[in-house]
């Protein structure tokens, strides 16, 4: 029983410590959050259709218009009204599409915007005009091309004009880790029940 109590104490400490770090880091996050939003707006560019949430709770959808050092304008969908937004007012901003697919003419601007939305580090699937299919980590989003890295191969550079399909893929690691964690929790509960006398 003593061993189980020690295990539980260590588990509780492990769960509590990261939350303290998150609270301390929150203050620094606010300062950089506005600059991350500004970077994303600048990368997406004028004309990109976005969904955004303001810190006040207001939800908006529309297309990006003029972009300055501290603000950007959104032409609201439906009303057509233009609204100026401070980068620091935004809590979330997303390009409306998180995947791209075409059988016809490729729109490299849309491909780039989807790549920006998916973000570097994400596991993606890419199909090119010549029929090549790739699955790997999106490691670089550049002005005219993206780079996909795979475990056993050299990184592959794909120009946007060749992308027929781009979408997020899931990694097998997370589901396995979740199942293992649940299994350990079940074992701990069974152990505690059996040894509770």
pLDDT in tens, 143-197: 999 999 998 889 999 999 999 999 998 865 666 777 777 777 877 777 777 777 6
Helix extents (H) in 45-100: none
- The sign of the dihedral angle between the CA atoms of 33, 35, 40, 41 is positive
Percentage of the chain exceeding pLDDT 70? 81
Partner residues linked to 127 by β-bridges: 133, 165
Q: Is the pTM value of this prediction over 0.85?
A: no
**Which has the closest alpha carbon to 11: 139, 196, 173, 181?**
181
Residue found under tokens 């259709």: 49
**Rounded to whole angstroms, how far apart are CA atoms 9 and 39?**
43
Half-sphere exposure of 4 (CA within 13 A, CB side): 14
* Domains of the chain in sequence order: 2-95 (2.30.30.100), 100-170 (2.30.30.100)
Count, in order, helices (H) and strands (E) of the chain: 3, 11
The pair of structure tokens assigned to 26 is 């929150």
């Amino acid at each position: 029983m003593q061993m189980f109590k020690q295990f539980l104490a260590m588990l509780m400490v492990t769960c509590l410590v990261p939350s303290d770090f998150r609270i301390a880091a929150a203050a620094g996050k606010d300062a950089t959050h506005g600059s991350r939003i500004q970077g994303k707006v600048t990368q997406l560019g004028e004309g990109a259709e976005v969904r955004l949430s303001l810190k006040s709770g207001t939800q908006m959808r529309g297309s990006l218009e003029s972009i300055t050092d501290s603000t950007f304008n959104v032409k609201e969908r439906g009303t057509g009204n233009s609204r100026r937004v401070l980068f620091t007012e935004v809590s979330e901003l997303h390009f409306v599409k998180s995947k791209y697919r075409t059988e016809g003419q490729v729109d490299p601007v849309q491909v780039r915007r989807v790549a920006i939305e998916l973000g570097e580090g994400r596991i993606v699937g890419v199909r090119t005009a010549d029929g090549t299919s790739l699955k790997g980590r999106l490691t670089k989003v550049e002005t005219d091309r993206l780079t996909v890295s795979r475990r056993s191969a050299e990184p592959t550079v794909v120009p946007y004009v060749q992308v027929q399909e781009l979408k997020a893929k899931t990694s097998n690691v997370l589901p396995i880790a979740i199942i293992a964690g649940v299994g350990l929790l079940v074992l701990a509960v069974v152990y505690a029940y059996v040894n509770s006398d």
